[in-house]
Amino acid sequence: MQKQPQQGFTLIELMIVIAIIGILAAVALPAYQDYIKKSAYSGVIVGMSAAKLGVTECYQFTSDLDACDGAANSVPDNFTGRLTGALNAIETVNGIITATPNTYKGITGGDICVLTPTAEVAAVGGGLTWLYSDVCEENGWVVN
């Protein structure tokens, strides 16, 4: 009498494979969700660029960051009605830009991002150094 070859997998082997897949999914899902939030937040960062350019230009003309507000010296601050996607509102006060996002792809309206300019020494070139702060920097969605 000949021995029959083994047919298929045992229940234990199948359970081990399912457990391995479950562990991989448990590790990958939070990383994927963070990736989605970071990519959605890029819309907020890009939306801040117009105000950043306005503050830079204002500082070049006035040499005073306190003069660079949304209402003065052509710093764009009143284009909130045209914002879409992740970005809800932008405010510029004394050169400091504050962006408020919409609830969008995992980010919420409370995930505010603040972009603060610091005037460099005139001998270095007299430009501005920018630093992100608040929730966007704490969550690692932007890097200084």
Ranges of each domain in the chain: 11-138
Domain at 11-138, CATH from 3.30.700.10, 3.40.50.1970, 3.40.50.80, 3.40.50.300? 3.30.700.10
Residue 68's nearest CA partner among 29, 96, 38 is 96
Mean pLDDT to the nearest integer, 52-75: 78
Q: For residue 20, what pLDDT band results from cuts at 50, 70 and 90?
A: very high
What is residue 143's predicted lDDT score, i.e. its pLDDT? 83
- Only one residue has tokens 């494979």, namely 17
pTM greater than the 0.85 cutoff: no
The per-residue pLDDT for range 69-97, each reduced to its tens digit, is 876 555 655 555 556 678 888 888 888 99
